[in-house]
Amino acid sequence: MSKRFLGFCAILLTILLFSSTHATAQEDGQPLVILNENNIKQATVMLMQVSDETGQPVIQCVGTGTLISSDGLILTNAHLVTENRDCISDRIVVALTIRIDEPPVPSYSAEVIEINRGFNLAVLQITRYLDGRSVDKRRLQLPFVELGDSDATTVDQTIYFFGYPDLEGGAVQMMRGTVSGFTAEARVGERAWIRTAADVPGLFSGGGAYDRDGRLIGIPTVLPNRVAGEVLDCRVVYDTNGDNRINDADRCIPIPGLIRAIRPSRLALGLVRAAALGIQPGPQYAVYESPPNTAQPIFENLFLATSVNEAGMPVSIVSRAPSGISSLYLFFDYRNMTDGLIYELRTTVNGRPDPTFSLPPVTWNGGPEGLWYIGNSGTRYENGTYEFTLFIEGRQVDSISFVVGGAPNPTPQFSDLVFGLENSLGQLVGANYVIPEGNVIRARFRYQNMEPGVVWRFQWFLNGSPLAGEGASGTRTWELPEPQGTFEDIAIASEAGFISGTYRLQLEIERENGFELAVLSDVVVAGGAGGIDAAQAQIFSDFQFAQNQQAGFPIGLINDEFASGVGQIFVFFNWRQISPNTPWTYRWLLDGDVLFEEHTRWAAEPTGENFYLSLVGLPTLPDASYTLEILMNGIPLTREVTVDVGLGQLPVEAFASAEGVQVRGRIIDAETGQGIAGAMLIILRAEFSVEDWVWDESQVLSRAQADRNGYYQIPQLLPRGTTESPILYSLLVRADGYFPVSQDGIPVTDLTSSPIEINVVLNRD
């Protein structure tokens, strides 16, 4: 179907083009043009876990979610959409905002299709109407928002929260806040959480935090407060037992406290991409399954450090800090934990609760045992006494006090502990936190403010248990005359060779009140020697991709390139000398971005061939470049393990957030110049013109509704054409009581600037 090509200067239907600075909103008192408040409100949904235990729908748990695609993908917290002891349900009901400033209307049911319980994130797909009929997601044209760049968030930046503040059926609300800082977490990094001091209601959990451009940069997250495992605030709102009364005999709905922490959108990106593209992890050679554990979860051996290295180990350990520090990390060992358990850090400063350095109830993401840390950097610690207290499921498990203030104290210190093998000259080579099996493990560390006569001691551990025998522990007196430098004269030897596993070296220095922890670090021993100086751990090798497997062997096409339309890919590799239960991480990358990341433990035999991992496409894997990375102790152990499917990269139109042109503007009354609230602007798919329009949703590329001041923003970016072959779009504008307007031939090319601001003037009928 042809269209007349009309440049913007020739559009006669009162559609006016303005520069990107024309309608810039002010922080206060002006409409949120860029944020497009109404579009975000319509993309914000209420989620209800519902059961039919009394013959009628009973709401068990309530929270907020966000539509992230026009075909019904919803991003939210995992705890809001999974059964647990507080929420026993049959289905998830999705309530939509049909009219701004009115309560949401239950409209669909949805199913979880991607989940990360540790991050407490899940992606749902709308699948059915409330009467049970299936939904054809291809025909849905729901308002949605795009994920933004959470890594670009800065302290003191204004952010906007959207969610449902209560259980009384109120409308979705927006509130402003600012970024007060960031919280670090082991394995996730410095920005595991975005922090805010705003009093965000707990039922906003699972909703959205947005930047000034209206991009979703985080998911507000909190779980109900608990005391000794029991929910602190649980309200009876509905008749759950069918006796036509609402009283203590009815089941209550758990209510979380104020939200202070936001999961960055970066951590949801892989789940969202996998859900949108229909990619799932496939079969693998061996899967680690935690043994049944009835022992009580434990946090112990708390200590603090002022910095962390690339392996997630403390650089140095401190018992107090001088004035002016801006980074501090609380480390602790843990045992008997399970991903998804609720843990919490409460911090007081001089006896008063301080939310800045606390972590509200969130889900555990570290597996059953190991070394963990929570920390803050870039935030000044004021002078005072800090008390850090850890909780598991509302049960206090351990605490530690720490003083900030005064001048630096030149006490003896150790730092920067690292490991390696010993060469023929007795020197450490291959400094790392993953080293091959051998007869000698040598350690190196830095020392500062040391004097002859200072007493110190060391202890080696294997898989959490102290090692015995010669060289496994000892007490020494410092002899070197230099006050600072590098020390390498510490090693542990075994004639039979060390078995693979996780080793730890712990160093202590004698103080006035006894020995005090100075530094510790873990090192994984696995694989054989290789690389430079034969000191690098060679663990995984002989990677090859295949289309399938049979009896543990690759079959079908074996290559590093596959044609379009392949339904699954397998990657096979050999391994050697890995102790069962050794922690390791594997992740799949899609065109360089993390798609899936799994922290697990080794479940196969110590040495073998043809371990395999796989990806499955529903129905097929999209054209892209797929990369496997393997890490131990945070150290990458693979290079360029990549396979291309089809063109080797995703098509531009794979996501609504793909590069394109954003359209926004205002719809106003011709007589008054005032905005027209509720006016609808529709952009048709490129293959349809205005004369083709028959009110069929399949013809719609995107649409937006004007807010109370007439401002709108199309949620989906318009794919670009080229200068030689522009993509031509058609536009329709409708509002009650006004003559409709429409236009064909609006061109978008590779030279079209973004955003385009189109203002539309309507005349009353």
**For residue 692, is pLDDT > 80?**
yes
Residue 762 vs residues 22, 629, 673, 708, 758: alpha-carbon distances, Å: 20, 56, 10, 16, 13
In a domain, 433, yes or no: yes
Greatest mean pLDDT range, 78-87, 453-462, 677-686, 749-758: 453-462
Residue 335, domain CATH: 2.60.40.10
Mean pLDDT, to the nearest integer, of 104-111? 94
User: Is there a single domain that holds both residue 73 and residue 197?
Assistant: yes
Name the domain boundary from 484, 513, 530: 530
For 604-649, the pLDDT digits (tens) are 999 999 999 999 999 999 999 999 999 999 899 998 899 999 988 8
- Least confident interval from 64-73, 419-428, 680-689, 740-749: 419-428
User: Does the model's pTM come out above 0.85?
Assistant: no
Quick one: pLDDT band at residue 233, thresholds 50, 70, 90?
Answer: low
Containing structural domain, residue 710: 8-29+659-762
For 306-326, the pLDDT digits (tens) are 999 999 999 999 999 999 899
User: Is there a single domain that holds both residue 640 and residue 665?
Assistant: no
For 519-545, the pLDDT digits (tens) are 999 999 999 988 777 888 999 999 999
Q: What is the pLDDT of residue 653?
A: 56
| More confident: 541 or 700 | 541
Pairing of strands 608-617, 440-448: unpaired
In a domain, 291, yes or no: no
User: Is there a single domain that holds both residue 447 and residue 358?
Assistant: no
Quick one: pLDDT band at residue 35, thresholds 50, 70, 90?
Answer: low
User: Is there a single domain that holds both residue 557 and residue 604?
Assistant: yes
User: Is there a single domain that holds both residue 495 and residue 593?
Assistant: no
Percent of the chain at pLDDT exceeding 90: 59
Quick one: pLDDT band at residue 386, thresholds 50, 70, 90?
Answer: very high
User: Is there a single domain that holds both residue 102 and residue 193?
Assistant: yes
User: Is there a single domain that holds both residue 318 and residue 348?
Assistant: yes
Mean pLDDT, to the nearest integer, of 109-117? 94
The continuous run of DSSP H or E covering 276 comes out as helix 269-277
Quick one: pLDDT band at residue 8, thresholds 50, 70, 90?
Answer: very low
User: Is there a single domain that holds both residue 125 and residue 206?
Assistant: yes
**For residue 243, is pLDDT > 80?**
no
For 738-759, the pLDDT digits (tens) are 999 999 999 999 888 877 889 9
Quick one: pLDDT band at residue 4, thresholds 50, 70, 90?
Answer: very low
User: Is there a single domain that holds both residue 620 and residue 665?
Assistant: no
Q: What is the pLDDT of residue 226?
A: 65
For 121-143, the pLDDT digits (tens) are 999 999 999 988 999 887 787 88
Mean pLDDT, to the nearest integer, of 360-364? 90
Q: What is the pLDDT of residue 720?
A: 84
63-86 residues labelled b (16+ CB within 10 A) or e (exposed)? bbbbbbbbbbbbbbbbbbbbeeeb
In a domain, 359, yes or no: yes
Q: What is the pLDDT of residue 140?
A: 82
User: Is there a single domain that holds both residue 745 and residue 630?
Assistant: no
In a domain, 282, yes or no: no
HSE value, Cβ hemisphere, 13 Å, CA-based, for 723 = 2
Quick one: pLDDT band at residue 239, thresholds 50, 70, 90?
Answer: low
Q: What is the pLDDT of residue 654?
A: 56
Q: What is the pLDDT of residue 262?
A: 94
3-class DSSP state for residue 726?
coil
User: Is there a single domain that holds both residue 383 and residue 433?
Assistant: no
Q: Identify how many contiguous H helices and E strands the chain contains and give both numbers.
A: 2, 57
Alpha-carbon distance of 149 to 206, in angstroms, equals 18
Task: Work out how many domains the chain is built from and give that number.
Answer: 5
In a domain, 379, yes or no: yes
Q: What is the pLDDT of residue 193?
A: 95
Q: What is the pLDDT of residue 655?
A: 58
Q: Count CB-CB contacts under 10 A for residue 668.
A: 22
Residue 684, domain CATH: 2.60.40.1120
Quick one: pLDDT band at residue 104, thresholds 50, 70, 90?
Answer: very high
Quick one: pLDDT band at residue 17, thresholds 50, 70, 90?
Answer: very low
- Nearest CA to 399 out of 336, 306, 330 is that of 330
Name the domain boundary from 353, 374, 404: 404
Mean pLDDT, to the nearest integer, of 191-212? 91
Greatest mean pLDDT range, 95-99, 327-331, 337-341: 327-331
Name the domain boundary from 369, 404, 439: 404
Averaged pLDDT score across all residues of the chain: 87
- Nearest CA to 158 out of 140, 178, 133, 142 is that of 178
User: Is there a single domain that holds both residue 517 and residue 548?
Assistant: no
Q: What is the pLDDT of residue 500?
A: 92
Q: What is the rounded end-to-end Cα distance, in angstroms, of the chain?
A: 31
In a domain, 738, yes or no: yes
